[in-house]
Amino acid sequence: MSDSVRKLANLAARVAELESERELTLRLAQTDSLTGLVNRGPFTSALCERLEAARAEGGRVTLFIVDLDRFKALNDTLGHHAGDLFLAEVGERLRCDCAPGELVARLGGDEFALIGADVDVAKRAQRLVSLLAQPHTIYGRVVSPGASVGVAVFPDDAADAGDLQRFADMALYRVKMQGGRRWSAFDAELRAENLRRRTLEAELRRAIPAGEIEPWFQPVIDAADGRIVGAEVLARWRHPEQGLLAPAAFVPIAEELGLIGRIDEAVFEAGCARAATWVADGLIEKVSFNVSPRDLLDPAFSRKLIGRLGRTALPATALTIEITETFLLQDLALSRRHIERLNAKGVSVALDDFGTGYSNLRAIMNLPIQTVKLDRSLIGDVAKEPRVAKLVTSMLQAARALGVRIVAEGVEEEAQAIFLRAAGCDRMQGYFFARPMPAAAMDAELRAPRAVAPVTRETIGRRARS
């Protein structure tokens, strides 16, 4: 063999080596290392290819989305390694159960998917549920988290891969919410729900620039003298046909569509403009805004907010940002960065809805927050349930010791207000004092001449009735 031929042969061998290395890397990037199943990317491509083929041949494609039910509890009690072992077991079961032509994938977390052909939907879904309901032993412990399944069929339900996945997800969500049977298929009820959401989406996209989302204000009362000392800003949508809508009617869908940031911005801008004059006139000290956990996931959130605040007339020291404990705990490091950046500019941070989750008290108290808002679920029973009364009293003591201010939310009755004041709560908010109101009504409320007196049974009552 001549020298140049040998060189050429070596080169060819090296190229082949590199090629197979590249293939391996590519395959690894497309496979989930825990279960050996394909992951979301290649799964979506495969789904598109199958829809293409079904379209050409007039066939059907069925998509099953599978989500484990109590996986988080398993992870929390037995640890992440046990969780991983269980996910591998689920992957193995699904793979072994696949009929020829079916494809199974791990979409992420404890979510899996299976593409089937023209199958009996009820039978196949029920089989998946039974398969994953069988117990498994990890570290000598028998576990059986169980699973829920959502199904959608091409072309009966959806015309493309995006809709097919969304519809199977909607069916899955319904199973999760309703309990009972562990699987559900997309149907007329979900089709109507989907249409309702699409309409709402289009309307919301129009409503934000049209200025239909407005800030309302709920007074925050100083328990010592019954004066209004602040306000919480709450979003309302003045819908042209449906009238005034509360956040429950549009915040969840805005979060899902990624529109919540724009709503929060609009509410912030308009809310600051109104509140700035009340602060400048010495009528209130503080105004607080809610932000969505989705906004907070943006690492630049606090920097952007400070920039936005600079374009309003509101002093930073008059601003409080309310953050829910679920978010704080979700990402402690990011929360701390946001809070420290806001604090450095003089902006306060309040922990919202305290007492609703399974709080990691120590983790929360280590964060430099200024205020804790006691959730109304606690306040509701404070004057009736001695155990709740004790709990709230000790929370108030702890907060005082830590130098954190407490605002009691959802105060609806005089008895609650009196109890809270006696227990040392310094700020209150609730229907007993005032409901959320539009800016003009708040302005009138603040400018109305009113005798200021310490809160007694009588003055609290008078304040609430006037």
Residues that bind ligand C2E (CB under 6 A): 218, 234-235, 246-248, 251, 260, 264, 267, 290-292, 352-353, 376, 410-412, 430-431, 436
Q: How far is the CB of 323 from ligand C2E (least distance, A)?
A: 10
Q: How far apart are CA 156 and CA 192, in angstroms?
A: 15
**Structure-block tokens of residue 28:** 């690894």
What are the start-end ranges of the H helices in 179-320? 188-207, 251-256, 260-280, 293-296, 301-310
**Which H or E run includes 127?**
helix 121-133
Collapsing DSSP to helix, strand or coil, 142 comes out as strand
Q: By C-alpha distance, which of 412, 423, 419 is closest to 464?
A: 412
* Closest C-alpha to 318, from 430, 233, 230, 221: 230
Q: Binding partner of residue 13 among ligand C2E, Ca ion, none, CB under 5 to 8 Å per kind? A: none
Which segments of 31-105 does DSSP mark as H helices, in order?
40-57, 71-78, 80-97
Shortest spacing between CB 246 and Ca ion, in angstroms: 13
Q: Which residues bind to Ca ion, rule: CB under 5 A?
A: 290, 322, 352-353
Q: How far is the CB of 413 from Ca ion (least distance, A)?
A: 18
320 binds, among ligand C2E, Ca ion, none (CB under 5 to 8 A by kind): none
Phi, psi of 65 (to 5 degrees): -110, 130
Close Cβ partners of 354 (under 8 Å, ≥ 6 residues apart): 325, 372, 373, 374, 375
What residues pair up with 243 in beta bridges, in sequence order?
239
Say if CB 223 and CB 455 are below 8 A apart. Answer: yes
User: 203 vs 353, which CB is nearer to Ca ion?
Assistant: 353
To ligand C2E, the closest distance from the beta carbon of 235 in angstroms equals 3
Residue 154 or residue 237: which is nearer to ligand C2E going by CB? Answer: 237
For ligand C2E, the closer of residues 110 and 352 by Cβ is 352
374, interface contact from ligand C2E, Ca ion, none, CB < 5-8 Å by kind = none
Q: Which two tokens stand for residue 213?
A: 């989302």
Look-up: residue for tokens 């309990």?
179
Give the residue with the Cβ less far from ligand C2E, 38 or 434: 434
State the minimum distance, in angstroms, from the CB of residue 112 to ligand C2E.
32
Q: Which is nearer to Ca ion, 112 or 237 (CB)?
A: 237
State the nearest-atom distance from the C-beta of 318 to Ca ion, in Å. 17
Name which of ligand C2E, Ca ion, none residue 145 binds, using a CB cut-off of 5 to 8 Å depending on partner kind.
none
376 binds, among Ca ion, ligand C2E, none (CB under 5 to 8 A by kind): ligand C2E
Phi, psi of 18 (to 5 degrees): -60, -40
Give min distance, CB of 329 to ligand C2E, in A. 16
CB of 274 to Ca ion, least distance (A): 17
Q: Do residues 382 and 392 lie in contact, with contact meaning Cβ atoms separated by under 8 Å?
A: yes
Q: What are phi and psi of 235, to 5 degrees?
A: -75, 140
DSSP string covering 389-428: HHHHHHHHHHHHHHT-EEEE----SHHHHHHHHHTT--EE
Q: Which is nearer to ligand C2E, 111 or 412 (CB)?
A: 412
DSSP conformational letter for 247? G
Tell me the closest approach of the beta carbon of residue 251 to ligand C2E, in angstroms.
5
Of 290 and 335, the one with the shorter C-beta distance to ligand C2E is 290
**Pick 13 or 210: Cβ nearer ligand C2E:** 210
CB closer to Ca ion, 157 vs 352: 352
Q: Rounded distance, CA 377 to CA 374, Å?
A: 8
Residue 161 binding result from Ca ion, ligand C2E, none, given CB thresholds of 5 to 8 Å by partner type: none
- Please state, in angstroms and rounded to a whole number, the distance separating the CA atoms of residues 118 and 60: 5
Task: Write the CA distances from 412 to 383, 415, 428, 429, 437, integer angstroms.
Answer: 11, 9, 10, 9, 16
The partner in contact with residue 264, picked from ligand C2E, Ca ion, none with C-beta cut-offs of 5 to 8 angstroms by kind, is ligand C2E
CB 234, min distance to ligand C2E, A: 4
User: Are 232 and 218 a contacting pair, CB within 8 Å?
Assistant: yes
Query: Nearer to ligand C2E by C-beta: 248 or 448?
Result: 248
**Gap between the Cα atoms of 407 and 446, Å rounded:** 20
